[in-house]
Structure 1
Amino acid sequence: MNTELYHQLVTLIHTTYTWVDIMDINGEEIFSFHTGGSFYPVHSRVLCLVAKWSNYNYPKGQCWRIPEFELDNAIRVLSQNPSFRKRCRNKQLLYTDAEAIIKQASFGHIILELEP
C-alpha cells in the first residue's frame, strides 16, 4: 500500500472516529500463507484499531490488528467502483471510503461509523 494513502486512511479514521480509534500504525508482524503444500512467511505492516467505547458485542478496549495486505485486498475489491478508484489514485479518500476499506479488510466485522 502506498505510504501516503496509508497515512491518509489513518488520519481519516483518527479525526472522524466515533467508537473505534487508531491504536498503532507502525506495528509489524510475520504471517504465514499456505500455498502449493508449503507455508511461506510474509512480513507485513499492521494497523491496530481499538474500541474506545463498548459497541455491538465489542467491549471497551477490544483491539483488532489488520494486516496491510488485507487493506490492499480491500482497496483492490473496492477499486472496481470507478469513483473510488479515482479518489484512491488522487489520494483524496473520503471518510466513507475509510469505512468501506476497514469493513472489507475485516471481512465485515468492524463497522467504524465515522462522522465528519
Structure 2
Amino acid sequence: MLPFDEQQVLYVLQSITEVSVAFIITNPFLFKQDYEFELDQQTIDQLNILNPTDALVYSILTIVEPFERTTANLKAPIIMNQHNNRGKQMILQEEPYDTKYSLIKGCE
C-alpha cells in the first residue's frame, strides 16, 4: 500500500507479484461517517485480528473524469490487519451499501 497523494487520503494498493495490478483505495469513513458492518469470524481468523483496533477498512475507488464523479465500492470493503499486513476483500451480503457510492454525495 503506497500513498497516492500528499495528504494520504488516497492510496495505491499495488500487487507485489503483478506490476500491472493496482487499485486506488481510501478510508470510507472520510466520506461516509455512518458506514458500519460486522466482520465475520472467518475474516477475523484469516487476518488474525485480535483487537478491533487491529482492523483497517478501505474502499476501492472507480476514478472518473471529472474526479467529482468518482465512486467508492462500499459493498465490498478491503479489511487489513495493520499489524501483520494481511488483508482481504469482503462482500457484504446484508448491508444496503452500493458498489458505486458517490464521494461527492458523501461529502455534502
Could you state the TM-score of these two structures normalised by the residue count of structure 1?
0.31
Could you state the TM-score of these two structures normalised by the residue count of structure 2?
0.32
More relative contact order, 1 or 2 (CA 8 Å, 6+ apart) = 1
Higher helix share: 1
Larger Rg: 1
